[in-house]
Amino acid sequence: MYILGINNMHDASAALTCDGKIIAAAEEERFTRKKHMVGFPYHAINYCLSEAGITIRDVDLVAVSWRPWVLRTRILQAVKPLLFSGKVFMAKTSRGMGQMKKEWLELFTMRRLIERHFGNGKFRVRYIDHHLCHAASAFFVSPFDNASILTVDGAGEEDTTVFWKGEGTKLTRIKAIKLPHSLGQFYAAITSFLGFKPQADEYKVMGLASYGKPAFDDYFRREVLTLKRDGEFHLNPHFIDYHLARQGIFLPSTIDVLGEPRRQGDEVTSIHQDIASSAQKLVEEAIFHSLNYLHKGANNTDNLCMAGGVAFNCVANGKIFESTGFQNLFIQPAAGDAGASLGAALYLYHSHSDKPREYMMNNAYLGPGYSNRQCEETLNSYGLSYKELSEKELCARVAREISDGKLVCWFQGRMEWGPRALGNRSLLADPRRKDIKDVINLKVKQREAFRPFAPSLLEERSHKYFYNGVPSPFMLYAFNVRHDKKDEIPAVVHVDGTARPQTVNKEANPLYWNLIKEFETITGVPVLLNTSFNVQEPIVCSPEDAIKCFMRTDVDYLVLNNLLVSRR
What's the per-residue H, E or C state across 76-96?
Answer: HHHHHHHHCCHHHHHHHHHHH
Strand order in the sheet with 408-411: 387-388, 563-566, 557-560, 408-411, 425-429, 527-532, 454-458, 502-504
Residue type at 307 in one-letter notation? A
In angstroms, the CA 36 to CA 296 distance is 37
The two most distant CA atoms of the chain are separated, in Å, by: 70
How many Cα atoms sit within 13 Å of 524 on the Cβ side? 3
In angstroms, the CA 409 to CA 560 distance is 8
Q: Decide: 20 and 54 in contact? Cβ < 8 Å.
A: no
Q: Decide: 347 and 17 in contact? Cβ < 8 Å.
A: no
What's the per-residue H, E or C state across 19-62?
Answer: CCEEEEEEECHHHHCCCCCCCCCHHHHHHHHHHHCCCHHHCCEE
Cis upstream peptide for 237 (omega within 30°): no
SS3 161: strand
SS3 357: coil
SS3 360: coil
Contacts of 326 (CB under 8 A, 6+ apart): 148, 291, 295, 302, 303, 304, 320
Identify the CA nearest to 427 among candidates 529, 552, 516, 538. Answer: 529
Contacts of 377 (CB under 8 A, 6+ apart): none
Identify the CA nearest to 43 among candidates 55, 31, 56. Answer: 31
Q: Phi first, then psi: give them for residue 367, nearest 5 degrees.
A: -95, -170
Burial group, residue 405, by CB count within 10 angstroms (0-12, 13-18, 19+): middle
Per annotation, catalytic residue among 10, 289, 295, 350: 10
Cα–Cα distances in angstroms (integers) from residue 333 to residues 187, 263, 418, 422, 553, in the given order: 20, 31, 5, 10, 28
Question: Which stretches of 312-447 are DSSP H helices?
Answer: 314-323, 339-352, 372-381, 391-403, 436-440
Tell me whether residue 494 is one of the annotated catalytic residues: no
Catalytic site residues?
Answer: 10
